[in-house]
Amino acid sequence: AQSVTQLGSHVSVSEGALVLLRCNYSSSVPPYLFWYVQYPNQGLQLLLKYTTGATLVKGINGFEAEFKKSETSFHLTKPSAHMSDAAEYFCAVSDRGNTDKLIFGTGTRLQVFP
Amino acid sequence: NAGVTQTPKFQVLKTGQSMTLQCAQDMNHEYMSWYRQDPGMGLRLIHYSVGAGITDQGEVPNGYNVSRSTTEDFPLRLLSAAPSQTSVYFCASSSTGGSYEAFFGQGTRLTVV
């Protein structure tokens, strides 16, 4: 069965600092991988996804993630945090092509301090 | 540009009451799903549908029913509400067309007392 582990339920950074949110997955076959962001009292919005091709994927708002098969990881990074990045971030995995069923990690709440 | 619309946004139920959470999408997506979000547990799949007339159970289906009579609508029914069903519920839809992006509604915050 697939699973997703997000290390760190809370991450705090200063404005302008590097953001690193960790995600490891477990899957018997290479899955599709996603990062979603949730702002307070809102639904989830797709940040970026890996399906096939280039393992470094760029998303919205300056975020990017790298699929590392050997490490079963899909960590999310942003070189310079902005106050508006404060939100909860979810890593998710699905079977290839079956986006009707997403398996989510437990989420990481990002705080950005001035 | 409505996307995925959930109603109501907030609801308080008494234990034992039943209700239906509504979800509608206007993107002609084949796939629709219901998730519940609980603190520290992320989102967990309740039920999903790959098309009209086809539904299946997810990770936490007990106490919930669904049906999919049209492509647009995917209601979630709570048969006899329990305090353990206090949660935020999200409906999502996605296409088989290759974008692999699930679009989420704004959520329904349900409290069972």
Q: B18-32, pLDDT tens digit by residue? A: 999 999 999 999 999
Q: Which residues contact A59 (CB under 8 A, 6 or more apart)?
A: A35, A46, A47, A48, A49, A65
In chain B, the residue whose alpha carbon lies closest to the alpha carbon of A93 is B100
Query: Can you tell me which residue has the tokens 């669904």?
Result: B66
What is the token pair recorded at A63?
Answer: 């975020």
Q: B41-72, pLDDT tens digit by residue? A: 999 999 999 999 999 999 999 999 999 999 99
The predicted pLDDT at position B98 comes to 66
Residue numbers of chain A with a pLDDT score lower than 50 = none
Contact residues, chain B, for A104 at CB < 8 Å: 35, 42-44
Which helix (DSSP H) or strand (DSSP E) does residue B50 occupy? strand B42-51
Q: Could you tell me if B58 and B43 are in contact, meaning their C-beta atoms sit under 8 angstroms apart? A: no
Assess whether pLDDT exceeds 80 at residue B96: no
Three-class SS of A67-92:
EECCCCEEEEEECCCCHHHCEEEEEE
* Percentages of chain B per state (helix, strand, coil), in multiples of 5: 5, 50, 45
Handedness of CA A63, A67, A70, A73 (dihedral sign): positive
Closest-CA distance, A26 to chain B, in angstroms, reads 16
Closest CA to B89 of B23, B27, B3, B26: B23
* Interchain proximity A42–B106, CB inside 8 Å: yes
What is the token pair recorded at B4?
Answer: 């995925």
A74 in contact with chain B, both atoms CB, cutoff 8 A = no
